[in-house]
């Protein structure tokens, strides 16, 4: 260390991408929340995976959903080890149940409000926050 002030801008830690999840993240980058719908039993599923967890079929389509949901549980974070998250304290991590199918639940940040106002059953809708020039990350905000 030279003692000079650090001017690095923290980079947001991002999701792992593999063959199963790449289509999901490509759609998120386009501002679309979509889930795999099984071609055999027609059920939506999340997280993205190669085979339907209900019937085992590998055939599916990617179906956009409304992005409307309700907060089922949440936590307000006041500490973070990662520099990017540390700059965004306090922030909310929540489990959001999608109105498109109550079996669909996503872990996500709640944004656009005072973290102290987040509550059980709160109506939220998906938003897409820019990460860099090409990528976005989903979050939810109160409606």
Question: Which is nearest to 24 in space by CA: 129, 131, 127, 136?
Answer: 136
Q: Contact between 40 and Zn ion (CB under 5 A)?
A: yes
Q: How far is the CB of 108 from Zn ion (least distance, A)?
A: 25
CA atoms within 13 Å, Cβ hemisphere of 109: 16
CB-wise, 40 or 89, nearer to Zn ion?
40
| DSSP conformation class of 120 | T
Out of 11, 17, 41, 107, the only residue in the binding site for Zn ion (CB under 5 A) is 41
- Under the phi-then-psi rule, with left for phi > 0, alpha for psi from -120 to 50, and beta for the rest, what region is 116? alpha
Q: How far is the CB of 98 from Zn ion (least distance, A)?
A: 18
For Zn ion, the binding residues in 56-85 under the rule CB under 5 A are 57
List of residues contacting Zn ion (CB under 5 A): 38, 40-41, 52, 54-55, 57
């Amino acid at each position: 260390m030279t003692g000079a002030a650090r001017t690095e801008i923290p980079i947001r830690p991002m999701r792992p991408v593999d063959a199963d999840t790449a289509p999901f993240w490509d759609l998120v980058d386009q501002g679309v929340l979509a889930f795999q719908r099984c071609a055999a039993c027609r059920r939506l599923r999340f997280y993205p995976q190669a085979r339907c967890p209900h019937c085992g079929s590998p055939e599916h389509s990617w179906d956009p959903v409304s992005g409307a949901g309700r907060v089922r549980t949440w936590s307000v974070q006041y500490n973070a080890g990662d520099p990017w998250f540390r700059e965004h304290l306090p922030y909310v991590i929540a489990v959001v149940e999608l109105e498109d199918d109550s079996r669909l639940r996503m872990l996500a940040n709640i944004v656009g409000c005072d973290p102290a106002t987040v509550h059980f059953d709160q109506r939220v809708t998906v938003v897409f926050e820019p990460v860099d020039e090409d990528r976005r990350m989903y979050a939810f905000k109160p409606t």
